[in-house]
Structure 1
Amino acid sequence: MESGKKIFEGSKEQLNIYPKYKIYIKDLFDVQEFRNYLLQENIISFKYDQNENSLVIAAQTYRQINYLFLYLIKKNLPLINLVKLPINMESIHKALESRKSN
């Protein structure tokens, strides 16, 4: 519901909204290689911030988070922080827009 109007009825899975996390990595890393690996594990990557050396990802399962950790360990990339981002109205609107365009 938004402003008294129903904008969607269904589950967050049907809306294709998954938990997003912002990962902060201590050392510089090959962003494209990392994104390719994440994609192989069905982990979606979003914004990379070079100043923070951080990347926003969306993972459907905790198993995918484990694959993320395995990559970081294998590449000897120390993780500084992992922050779960809230699902807000902006992310819901983006998901609704992507549903309309499909």
Structure 2
Amino acid sequence: MEEALCLSWAILLKKLCENWRGYLYLFLSIILSAVLGYILLMMGPIVGGIAAFGIVVGCIFRGLYLLTDIHKRVSNVLLKEDKAQKAYKDYLEEEGK
């Protein structure tokens, strides 16, 4: 039992060491979000609410922009015609004549 527990901790530690930057950025974003929340609470309900609304709407618009950009890039890659599709299209055009 102790060996399995030690092995699982070793695997977890190995994964943590492989991706430590990701965890560091996550920790930093948690700390910064807590500080931002505290600042918004100290501003009062009106000013803090307006600032929080602006942050949320800005994040939503940024996410929509990124989704649109990803869609454009993926659709350009998927719409390219390969040799088999081109040959089939040419065959259909010849058969139609």
| Range into which the TM-score falls when normalised by the shorter chain | under 0.3
TM-score of the superposed pair, with normalisation by structure 1 = 0.22
TM-score of the superposed pair, with normalisation by structure 2 = 0.22
Structure holding more strand per residue? 1
Structure holding more helix per residue? 2
Q: Which has the higher contact order (CA 8 A, sep 6+)?
A: 1
